[in-house]
Amino acid sequence: MDIAITSLGFRTDLMLLEMSGSVLTDKGEYVVVRTPGNPTFWWGNYLLFRTPFAPGDAVAREETFEHEFPDAAHRSLGVDSTDGVVGSDEELKAAGFEIERSTVMTATEVREPARPNDTSQYRFLSGDGDWEQLVELTLTSATMEVDDGYREFNRRRVAADRALCDAGHARWFGAFDGDRLQASLGLASDGSGVARFQSVQTHPDDRGRGIASTLVHRASRYGFDELGAHTLVMVADPGYHAIRIYRALGFGDNEVQLQLSRPPATA
Strands of the sheet containing 75-79, edge to edge, are 23-26, 30-34, 46-49, 75-79, 252-262, 98-107, 231-236, 194-202, 180-189, 170-177, 121-124
Same-domain check for residues 211 and 160: yes
Same-domain check for residues 157 and 205: yes
Same-domain check for residues 236 and 129: yes
Q: Give the mean model confidence (pLDDT) for residues 22-45.
A: 95
Same-domain check for residues 153 and 182: yes
pLDDT at 18 over 90: yes
Same-domain check for residues 90 and 128: no
| Short-list 189, 258, 196, CA closest to 48 | 258
Same-domain check for residues 125 and 243: yes
Same-domain check for residues 125 and 220: yes
pLDDT one-digit tens code per residue, 179-222: 999 999 999 999 999 999 999 999 999 999 999 999 999 999 99
User: Rounded to an integer, what distance in angstroms lies between the CA atom of residue 201 and that of residue 209?
Assistant: 13
Same-domain check for residues 34 and 134: no
Q: Is residue 267 part of a domain?
A: no
Looking at this protein, which amino acid is placed at residue 223? G
Q: What mean pLDDT value characterizes the chain?
A: 94
Q: Is residue 115 part of a domain?
A: no
| Short-list 241, 170, 233, CA closest to 212 | 241
Q: Is residue 16 part of a domain?
A: yes
Residues 53 and 63: beta-carbon distance below 8 Å: no
104 or 1: which leads in pLDDT: 104
User: Rounded to an integer, what distance in angstroms lies between the CA atom of residue 62 and that of residue 58?
Assistant: 6
Altogether, the residues listed in the chain come to a count of 267
Q: Is residue 152 part of a domain?
A: yes
Same-domain check for residues 142 and 241: yes
Q: Is residue 3 part of a domain?
A: no
pLDDT one-digit tens code per residue, 130-158: 999 999 999 998 776 778 888 998 999 99
**Residue 80: DSSP 8-state:** -
Q: Please count the other Cβ atoms lying within 10 Å of the Cβ belonging to residue 167.
A: 11
Q: Give the mean model confidence (pLDDT) for residues 95-109.
A: 96
The structural domain count of the chain equals 2
Q: Is residue 113 part of a domain?
A: no
Position 2 confidence tier, pLDDT thresholds 50, 70, 90: confident
For strands 30-34 and 46-49, give the pairing: antiparallel
The pLDDT of residue 266 is 54
Q: Give the mean model confidence (pLDDT) for residues 14-19.
A: 95
Same-domain check for residues 197 and 241: yes
Residues 260 and 86: beta-carbon distance below 8 Å: yes
Q: Is residue 131 part of a domain?
A: yes
Q: Is residue 110 part of a domain?
A: no
**Residue 27: DSSP 8-state:** -
Residues 230 and 195: beta-carbon distance below 8 Å: no
Q: Give the mean model confidence (pLDDT) for residues 236-252.
A: 95
Residue-number span of the structural domain to which 130 is assigned? 121-249
pLDDT at 267 over 50: no
**Number of C-alpha atoms within 13 angstroms, CB side, residue 259?**
21
Residues 229 and 193: beta-carbon distance below 8 Å: yes
The pLDDT of residue 145 is 77
Percent of the chain having pLDDT more than 70? Answer: 99
Same-domain check for residues 125 and 68: no
Same-domain check for residues 71 and 133: no
Which CATH number is 239's domain given? 3.40.630.30
